[in-house]
Chain A
Amino acid sequence: MIQAFLKKGCFQDSVSLMLISRQLSNGDNVEEVSVMMGTPANKSLLESTGLWHPLFDEATPNDICVAIHPNAESGDVSDEIAAQLDSALASIAQASAGGQRLDVVRRWQTALAKQPEANLALISVAGDYAADLADEALDNDLNVMMFSDNVPLESEVALKRKAAAKGLLVMGPDCGTAMVAGAPLAFANVLPKGPISIVGASGTGIQELASQVCLAGQGITHALGLGGRDLSADVGGASALSALAMMDNDQETEVVAFVSKPPAPEVEQAVIQAMKAMSKPVVALFLGTRREKARDGNVFFANSLAEAGRLAAMLANVRQYVPGCNKTAGKKILGLYTGGTLAAEAAMLTAEQLGLAVDDAHDQGVMLNDGGHLIIDLGDDHYTVGRPHPMIDPTTRTLEIEKRAVDEQVGVLLLDVVIGYGATADPAAALVEAVESAKSKRQSPLHVIATVTGTEADPQQRSQQIETLVEAGVAVVNTLEEAVLLSEALIEQQGTKAVEERPALLDGIRVVNVGLRSFADDLQSAATPVVHYQWAPIAGGNAKLASLLKQMQ
């Protein structure tokens, strides 16, 4: 026999009540205790789980329903459970006391009065109610993040349409992760700040991508979640398109990384189109689809989260380097490599990036000679006849640099520095000398990009070599891929995009949190201005009164 009681007029969020249910179910005298708000959905749940009691008929969505399945030998335990419930509720209230006081309000109007600058509503109430609240938020010119799930598709479409018309963003529904200007919204990580922003329809996808970016030594500006349905044919990527446009207008975002499951084909086209229209590189990962082309203009396709993270970090490295460089008149790339394989890969990558043909004949060590771009392997037999390999004696390369890098057509010089046993004692110093000499004979600037092959433990010491190069104004990058991307960026150096006004949301968020209080606590601990709207159904869920109230506003 189920025992039951009601606690009238005491609205609590469902997570708190689930925790309390679990806690109370551990008691000695009970099999199970269920503590729920008296919403119609919860009532039918109580019925279907065999925990129904006629008392629940009179429960409103503002009343707590407690159903107790006692042990066979227990008598009436409802008083005992009621006392335990009260102390559990009290400890929730106390847990939030102390420290900085969180503003807690019960009406929209009060929330906005307490936080007049609010620009985002974080909504985590039950799905039945979430859409109305989101609509109200949009009416008040707030962007929306809907953590709530079970929001009807037609509501999502209507909300996103409305948001787009107002220049606002709706993240979600069912959006668990976002970080805006360093502020955590729902699930989020503490991330180093950097030039990469993430847009994604997958919560953990965003988190993993962000964490990969950080492992690769870069940081995050913003991460905007879209909700799982955004890229469906019905929703049409409405928020994806808004989020991409916002990222394009954000001066602090240098690279955008995008992650989602495969979208509807027409939506995918629209999204890629939008990415291609952007003024910055975009790394796109449509999980589970393998692409033939690795790149389409400024859009780089990745096949895994790790790859997307690494690519984004590399593009960010490149973008960070470029603004400090003078424009060069020369638009050609010259690569003078001492390592054959390094030359081959540099040639291959350059050909791929610029749409050139590699030189398969390798005549006289020429790995690429197309469109004025030239990459040579100076270790080729042609250069070592009667002379030591350039890794042992740098003279060959010094001569080649002095001969070829003075050409004003050349804008970027790609080099390798190979250290270790057998290599010359200080290859960087020799390189720097040759580069300085070539530069002195030129009118226009020459950009020099080098990779260093070898370790810190090598006799020449990697960091020492890098220091020598950097001091001489040589860009030292981590990989050949990065070297090639950077050289491309330098010869194609475009005027930066006309500065548009950054979407206000990205300057920093001020949040109205509706639903789970812990989200507000997290925001407050991250020093984000927040007011907690302790929401309960209007007029206690009485539809008639709610309707009258609406007409009486």
Chain B
Amino acid sequence: MYSSISEANAAVLEKVKSARPFWVDVTSAGEVIPWLAEGKHLLHAGPQIKWEEMTGPMQGACVSACLYEGWATSDTDAMAMLAGGEVQFSPCHHHNAVGPMGGITSANMPVIVVENKADGNFAYCNLNEGIGKVMRFGAYGDEVQQRLHWMREELMPVLKDALANTEGGVDLGAIMAQGITMGDEFHQRNIATSSLLLRTLAPSIAAVDASKDVLKRVFDFLSITDQFFLNLAMAFCKCAMDAGATIKAGTIVTAMTRNGKDFGIRVSGMGDQWFTAPVNTPEGLYFTGYSQEQANTDVGDSAITETYGVGGAAMVAAPGVTRFVGVGGVDAALDFSEEMAEIFVEQNSLLQIPSWNFQGACLGLDVRHVVETGITPIINTGIAHKEAGIGQIGAGTVRAPLACFEKALEALAQDMGLQAE
């Protein structure tokens, strides 16, 4: 046991800081998450949610998954099956996994396997599908199905073999340390790390025993998928935060996630318990033809990056993202990071930010600081259309709701036997 909250928090952060997540494999989700293979089971983003409560993009992604798994042959069949309660749901977070936007993951989808070499724990995340009509934003048409199948049939084996050609996988922390100096904050912007990753893996991919055509398609995909690293960053953050959560004490937030209805957080001192409050709706810039009225409420496990202290909190590192956060540009980005620094406990020496005088990214989101100041974490996020089947319409920012932090604080206080005076 720890004699004070700050001692407990220090222990949590020691675990987080000493985590060494490596990308070691790509495999079928059902291989590493057995529950998925036990029937018509799907993982989703955020805290637990029922089909009826899901917003459009998540429902659309479920339709996509039903088609992909061959449980249904048309979207209407899939809808009926889902509405009929034939499919069971569980949060990604309950299976050491995270998923962007809808977070919908099924047994035969490829997942990234990340291993924390310091503690031996694993984290999983599906593969980034690129942009446009994509499952995670709720699209489910033919284009989506084709890409999902290609990813399983060609991309997964090539990446699996490429990783096998490396010595122990890819050190993600090392790539992120470089990427943050190149303008990535690992949520809205991953182009530098995605490029670094491709550069790192290229020799191993070239050595894979596959046809030139296959390898060319893999290289083509990786060369244009700017957000490919996002899913790796998410798994990295999940792996590190889960290591911290093993301390089971303190006030550090170990997970933040959203399911379109509720925003949920977990706190180191309260184990696996979720503290939830209704989600907000992101605001930002929209693709031509779309507007704020069409924006879906906040959704996705990608807020695990903000939990770790990157994403919105590292806005100052990513001048390219500042356009999303208002006319203030670089100044506004600095303001956001300075504001976020108020609610995090320390700075991460692994991720030094040149445009912040080489201060480290934020580390250790403290429930106490959030409640004290009323400053809520800012999250850089993609924006999905609220109707199923349309997909991404923009990107911007959203705040976590204060109420879930207040609830967590009250629960922690109760757990410690404290009473308001």
Contacts and interface: CB of A to CB of B under 8 A. Distances in A.
Contacts of A97: 331
Contact of A538 (B5, B331, B372): B372
Interface string B196-218: 00000000000000000000000
Which of A539, A542, A547, A548 gathers most chain B CB within 10 Å? A548
Interface stretch (B97-105, B230-238, B260-268, B411-419): B411-419
B357 to A, nearest CB: 12
Interface string B389-412: 000000000000010001001101
A551 B413 contact: yes
A106 B416 contact: no
Contacts of A461: none
Interface in A1-21: 9, 11
A552 B341 contact: no
A104 B420 contact: no
B277 to A, nearest CB: 14
Given A97-B331, A551-B418, A552-B412, A545 B339 contact: no
Contacts of B248: none
B413 A540 contact: no
Interface residues of A, number: 23
Contacts of B5: 552-553
B373 interface: yes
Interface in B322-381: 331, 338-339, 341-342, 368-369, 371-375
A552 B366 CA distance: 12
Contact of B374 (A9, A544, A548): A9
B369 A545 contact: no
A539 B369 contact: no
A22 interface: no
Given A97-B331, A106-B339, A548 B372 contact: no
Contacts of B368: 549, 552-553
Contact of B251 (A107, A536, A552): A552
Contact of B373 (A536, A547, A552): A536
A442 B342 CA distance: 74
Contact of A106 (B342, B402, B420): B342
B293 interface: no
Contacts of A39: none
Nearest to B370: A539
Contacts of B338: 104-105
B342 A539 contact: no
Contacts of A538: 372
Given A105-B342, A544-B420, A539 B372 contact: yes
A549 to B, nearest CB: 6
Interface residues of B, number: 24
A62 to B, nearest CB: 6
Nearest to B418: A551
B5 to A, nearest CB: 6
A107 B369 contact: yes
Interface string A519-553: 00000000000000000101110111101110111
A486 to B, nearest CB: 55
A553 B418 CA distance: 12
A110 interface: yes
A363 B338 CA distance: 83
Which of A105, A538, A539, A540 gathers most chain B CB within 10 Å? A539
A337 B376 CA distance: 81
Given A106-B375, A107-B369, A549 B409 contact: yes
Nearest to B6: A553
B263 to A, nearest CB: 16
Interface string A161-192: 00000000000000000000000000000000
A544 B39 CA distance: 47
A107 B412 contact: no
Given A107-B342, A110-B342, A544-B420, A536 B374 contact: yes
A445 B137 CA distance: 97
A548 B413 contact: yes
A551 to B, nearest CB: 5
Nearest to B345: A109
Contacts of A104: 338
A540 B375 CA distance: 10
A360 to B, nearest CB: 77
A135 to B, nearest CB: 16
A552 B374 CA distance: 16
Contacts of B412: 552
A502 B297 CA distance: 61
Contacts of A547: 420-421
Contact of A539 (B339, B341, B371, B416): B371
Contacts of B369: 107
Which of A105, A110, A549, A552 gathers most chain B CB within 10 Å? A552
Interface in A477-522: none
Contact of A549 (B331, B372, B375): B372
20 contacts: A9-B374, A11-B374, A97-B331, A105-B342, A106-B375, A107-B342, A107-B372, A110-B342, A536-B373, A538-B372, A539-B371, A539-B372, A540-B402, A543-B420, A545-B406, A547-B420, A548-B410, A548-B420, A552-B251, A552-B418
CB-based closest 6 A-B pairs: A544-B420, A547-B420, A548-B413, A547-B421, A106-B342, A106-B373
